[in-house]
Amino acid sequence: MPRPILDESQIHPAIRAQVATHQQDIVREVVAACQQHAVVVVGMGMNPFCKKACQTLTQAGQAHQYLEYGNYFNTWRRRNALKMWSGWSTFPMVFVRGTLVGGYQEVKALIGSGELAKLLATPQRSA
**Each residue of 22-41: pLDDT tens digit?**
999 999 999 999 999 999 99
- 27 part of a folded domain: yes
Instruction: Give the pairing of strands 39-43 and 93-96.
Output: antiparallel
Is 56 in contact with 104 (CB distance < 8 Å)? yes
Q: Kindly tell me the burial class for residue 110, based on how many C-beta atoms sit within 10 Å of its own C-beta (0-12, 13-18, 19 or more).
A: buried
- 37 part of a folded domain: yes
What's the per-residue H, E or C state across the chain?
Answer: CCCCCCCHHHCCHHHHHHHHHCCHHHHHHHHHHHHHCCEEEEECCCCHHHHHHHHHHHHCCCCCEEEECCECCECHHHHHHHHHHHCCCCCCEEEECCEEEECHHHHHHHHHHCHHHHHHCCCCCCC
- 4 part of a folded domain: no
Residue 114's domain spans which residues? 15-120
- 36 part of a folded domain: yes
Read off the amino acid at residue 37: H
- 99 part of a folded domain: yes
**Each residue of 28-82: pLDDT tens digit?**
999 999 999 999 999 999 999 999 999 999 999 999 999 999 999 999 999 999 9
pLDDT at 125: 60
Query: How many domains does the chain contain in total?
Result: 1
Q: Looking at residue 31, which CATH number applies to its domain?
A: 3.40.30.10
- 76 part of a folded domain: yes
- 95 part of a folded domain: yes
- 7 part of a folded domain: no
Q: How confident is the model at residue 1 (pLDDT cuts 50, 70, 90)?
A: confident
